[in-house]
Structure formats: structure tokens, C-alpha cells
A and B are shown apart, each in its own frame.
Chain A
């Protein structure tokens, strides 16, 4: 993997900055129990205190330490968003490649089902399902992953169709190779650049989507800390001129910008490879 390392070293400044930002958040998430001065749900002081030596960023609406909750929130938000994105890519690319490789009726059937799923506004659809099945974390992961996989399906099907018409795929077919080989060894390696770029973008969207759901009260449930619900819980404070809700909002913006800086670079690389 020396080529991978060289690639990282050749990254432009913006991408390096993005990587640094993501790395910072990841470290905070991993070492949250070590760094955090208080417990995740521990009531440590008065309500909505401003920043001080005891409470770096002050306290929230119940008097919990905001800095501590930001660290733990990073854990939950990132882990869940990553899980959802990975799951949606697994389903989306598998079905997308299948539709492109088998084509015919399989393609028609899959594409139309996806069309139906995409016809619903995602937030409404997610609200509907979550209010039926209840708002547990597994339900959240599966529902958002399913909704997100529709877009991944569209992309991976389109990319695979471009590759599918290449003669090396025909050569593999003529050799008698099965579907799995065609998808895994002929199509996937050539579809990687756009898919990786899309992965980064979708990760951000998922992350914002969870924040939106949490804000509406259907995302990650209290007392578990996550950035979206932290904004919601403390939103009232802004009317009193207290900064508390701005901190989790800043954290969301920070990670989103960081991931996007890296993704922009991936997109650039991917388009360069197509030349």
C-alpha cells in the first residue's frame, strides 16, 4: 500500500486540513471516556452556565457538562452515521451492480421499486416508519440505510452500466464467469473512485439527517448524547442570549466541512482517473 501512502502525502492543503479535522473528531470520539471531565449523563452543575474552568463550554438545559456531552455525542453520531452509510452502500451497490449486470426484468423490477421508494420525501417516510416501529437505534439505522440506499443504487447502477459495456467484461462473460466474479472483480474495482467520493458525501447527509430526526424527537433518544438532539434540547436558550446550542451546531458544521474537504479531493481524483 505504498501507493496509497504516497497519494495521501500528495494531497492538497484543503484535503489535509479536512483530514486533520476529521481525525480530530475521531480522536475525540475514541478517547471520550478518558478526556471527558464528567459522566455522559451526570448532572454536574446549574442549568445553562456559561463557560468556566469547571465547565469548559458551560452546561446544558439539565445542568450536564456540555463539553463532556459533545465528546460522547461525537461517538454516537459518528458511529451511527458510519454504520448507516456502510449498510446503505452494501445494499445499494449490490443491488445496483446486480441490476446493471443481469439487466432485463431484474433491472426493471429493482429500478421501479427504487423509484417508488424515492417518490416519498425521505424525512416524511422516515418519520412514518419510525413512528410505527418505534425509535430504537437499530430501527433508526435500518430505516435510514434503506432510504439512503436508493440513491446509492441509482449511482452504482449508472456507473456499472458504463463499465458493463467494456470489452473486458464481455471477455469475462465469454469465459463463463458467474455474476459474483463480474460484480466483484470486473466492475467494482473500476467503480471505486466515484463510489468512494459518494460515500463521503452520503456520510455527511446521513449525519445531518440524524441531526434533523433528533431535532424532531425521532432520532437518538435521551439521555444518550448526540449533536442533533443537543441542539434541540438547548434551542430555547438562544432566546435568552445564551450560546449553549451553538456549540453542538458548530460541531456538526466542523465535521461536515472536514469530510467535504476530503471528499472534494476524492472527486477531483476520480474525475482525473476518467480522463
Chain B
């Protein structure tokens, strides 16, 4: 039987200024009916571009330069746009990363579901809506009869992503392209979506291209995996074979990600941050944080773990004084901090620094690195321009960036380099405690690992403490000395890392821990069977 989709020697170019640069450099891709192919790589690998090319589509500013895309015996490359439109959505569908950004917020879910089949003349609106209910049921959405009549903001993130999968399924396509469908979700909801995708593609024998940067996720879904890097193929193999015997060193690096763990430190150091019985709210009524008590010791890392909406970032805002608590106290290095940031002294502000999730928005795009790192030196220590430059160069060396970066703007740096600059800016103040808010979640895995190693290294040298906010339990294992698990604004469990990570766990901690995908192709099956049994 001929393959359903055969892409041969495809070159896709992107426009930078006047020039066209290749993004995908002559790749081949073959997909058989009912097969799931995983495309994996870091940002810039060309995986999304290649995925979209399967329906002969490119993002604005890109073009397919040469190659051949044969779908079900027809050559798509060079086919008129009107004919391509008949295929897209009907026979080849697409599921985007952020369902929240891709649903029209002004229309009900079911109307958006029906749009495709009605447009392609496959069903009437009534048929399509009846059909939607059946698919919603198969995807295990709650209340399938009525959920379609809700607006996108009225359902949860995981449900919305499943509604999007349902929408892609509406015309019963031969191929669905999934572009990082679970990346923006919490680990616990990720499982629902993964299970739903697997169930529905198996039921209708749909072929799929599954694009992700997470090898552990793709291991659960894919029959075959292609590893891409900078628009080139690194390795292609059967999923199980690749996980068992990766051939290339790059694949081995991806597999080994987060395999390091911080050594447990036994000797207790003094407590530098003592948060006691803190309660806070945004409107004065509904508490977002309730009775939070935690301690951070000198030179240690406390990881604050929880799903989105658990109040971890709010706690950071309370500690920094951006959101004064309604009750409770924060004692920092033996002195009680004033609740509001505005009434804190410069010296108190200096010792408590913060690093943000998105390095793009955390650095002023109109300031050079010289000023970004130099300003805290001038502000806190009154250093002269010359002293600032010298110290900035020292800091650049500490974060392992070359000296000439001092005269660059943030936009000239990569994501990981920007995050390093954010670290240097925090270090410039010689803080006792740095609050790290999801500092690695916007980065590629290998880059993130570099940042984590740097943070650990700096901690060893400078004896600085971290309050590390994250939803990623793999990160926690790598860097934490103590773990605080939060849910709905309360602390569920807290204690030394090894105690929290070894059973018996609290129920919620157990749910979080068991939901982290493992590099084991049978992990999802086993987990679902286990949860079924329980």
C-alpha cells in the first residue's frame, strides 16, 4: 500500500530582511494510514514548519522553495490555493498549541466545530452538531450534550484543548497535525489530553504528525520519531527502538535531560526568610493565599510546586511586597519586612531579587546589557562608570557570556542568554535570596538545563538562597533542597526533598508526581490502567 503522505526533499525558506534563508533543508517524511509520527526538536529546529508543510501551508514570511508533497496520490506542491482549501480541514486538519488563543472567544464551541464540515459541504449544521456531541463523548468531555454551547472562556484549558482536537476530528480527516498541543498545560491535564488524542486517533485510524519538544511526551504517542535540529534530520527510528538505543549524541542529550539531581545537604544553615501565617487577597474578600508558612535557609533552595492557579506566583508577589498580605508576617534576615514594597528601605530591596519566567519582557529592549547590569551596581553601591564596567564584565564571566555582550541589546541575544543576563542583573545586587519564577519554563530543555546548572553553581560559590517557583517536577528534583507543594492557595505538603519525593506521598503530591511523563513508551498505558483500577 502506498503511503498516505510522502514528502520528498522539501526545502522551506524564511524571509529575513531581503534574503531568504532555509529553515527546512531538504527533508523527507513518510506517513502511513493510522500511523503517528513524532517530530521532535528544540525551537528553530523547523518541526512546526515541516508539520504545516504537510498541508502545503507555510506561515507568512515563509515559502516552500522546492520539493514534493504527495498526499493520497496527489501532488500538493503547486496545486492551486482553491483546491488546497478543499483539502485543508477536511482531509488534513491542524491542532494548535494554545487552544485559548486559537478559538474565537465570541462564538460557542459547537458553532466553531460545525463550521468546518458545513463549509466543506459534508454535513448540515444540525448533523454537525449532533456529530459534535458524539465526538465530545468519545473525548470524555464532561456533559457532552451541553458543553458545546459554552463559550471558550467557560471551560478549562484541558477541556478547551480537547474541544480543539474534536474540532480537528469534525471532518474525519486522514491526517491531523498536532503542534505542541499539551505544552501550555499542567502535567495533570496533559494526561487527559494525551489519552484523548490516542483514543480518538486509534478509533478512527487517523494518521497524525505530533510535534513537540518533549521526548517523554512523544514516547507515549508516537509509533515512529524523527529528531530534527536546525532544519536537518538528526535521527529517525521506530519510537521504542529510538528510546532504547539512540544512535546520535544529540538524541542521547535530549534523552538524558534532567537526569542530574542536587546532592542532599545535611548540615542546617540559618533561616533567612521566614514567612509566617500569610494570608492575601486581590480584592479584600476572596483569599488567594491562606495561612502560608515557609522558611528558606541560607544557601539552600526551596521549590514551590503547584499547578497554575495554585497561588505560587502570588506568594512571590507577597514576599516582594508588590501585594501586601492581609495578615501574617515576613521576616527576612532577622528583621520583619514592611508589608508594602514602597515602605521598604533600599537595603531591604537589594537583598531580595527576582528572576522572571519570560526573559523577553523582563529586560528593557532599549537598554544595552551594560546598563541593565550596571544600573543595580550604581543604584545600590554607587559605583562609578569604570567600576561598573569592571564588575559587569566579572558578572558576564560568571554567567558564562562573552565580554563583548556588554554593548549588545537584549534582542540580539537568544532566550537562554537573556535569562542569563536576568540572573546577572539579580546577582549584581549581591542578594541573599533570589526568587526564581518559572525561570526555565519558557526555554528549550537543553538550554533550561544549562540555566539550572548555572544557578546551582552560583549557589555553591556565592551561598545565595533560591525560592524556586515551578510546575515542573523534573526541575524540582534537579535543584531543590526542600519542597513546598501548593494547591488552591494552601500548602498541601512541605519538607526536605527526599522525604517529599519518596512514598508515602500526600494524595495531591502523588497525583503531581505520577503525572510527569517518563521516557518509557508504556508509561501512559500503565498509569491509565493503574488509575482505572484505583
Residues in chain A within 8 A of chain B (CB atoms): 166-168, 170-177, 185-186, 189-190, 192
Contact = CB atoms under 8 A, between A and B. Distances in A.
A176 B346 contact: yes
Nearest to A190: B366
B379 interface: yes
B322 A186 contact: no
Given A167-B356, A167-B358, A173 B341 contact: yes
A190 B409 CA distance: 13
A171 B376 CA distance: 11
Contacts, number: 45
26 contacts: A166-B361, A167-B361, A168-B362, A168-B363, A168-B364, A170-B322, A171-B354, A171-B425, A172-B364, A173-B322, A173-B341, A174-B320, A174-B322, A174-B354, A175-B349, A175-B379, A175-B380, A175-B429, A176-B344, A176-B350, A176-B379, A186-B364, A189-B364, A190-B365, A190-B366, A192-B366
Nearest to A186: B364
Contacts of B350: 176
Contacts of B354: 171, 174
A171 B341 CA distance: 12
Contacts of A168: 361-364
Interface in B290-347: 320, 322, 341, 344, 346
Contacts of A170: 322
B349 A176 contact: yes
Contacts of B341: 173-174
A245 to B, nearest CB: 47
Q: Say which size band chain B's interface belongs to.
A: 20 to 34
Contacts of A177: 379
Interface string B254-277: 000000000000000000000000
B367 interface: yes
Interface of B: 320, 322, 341, 344, 346, 349-350, 353-354, 356, 358, 361-367, 375-376, 379-380, 425, 429
Q: Is the interface of A mostly helix, strand, loop or mixed?
A: helix
Please give me the 6 A-B residue pairs with the lowest Cβ-Cβ distance, nearest first. A189-B366, A167-B362, A168-B364, A176-B349, A167-B361, A167-B356
A16 B8 CA distance: 47
Nearest to B321: A174
Contacts of B349: 174-176
Contacts of B344: 176
Contacts of A167: 356, 358, 361-362
Question: Most B CB atoms within 10 A — which of A168, A177, A185, A189?
Answer: A168
Nearest to A177: B379
Contacts of B320: 174
B80 to A, nearest CB: 30
Contacts of B379: 175-177
Nearest to B362: A167
Contacts of A189: 364, 366-367
Contacts of A171: 354, 356, 362, 425
Given A171-B425, A176-B349, A185 B367 contact: yes
A66 B242 CA distance: 87
B276 to A, nearest CB: 22
Given A170-B322, A171-B362, 18 more contacts: A167-B356, A167-B362, A168-B363, A171-B356, A171-B425, A173-B341, A174-B320, A174-B353, A174-B354, A175-B349, A175-B375, A176-B350, A185-B364, A185-B367, A189-B366, A190-B364, A190-B365, A192-B366
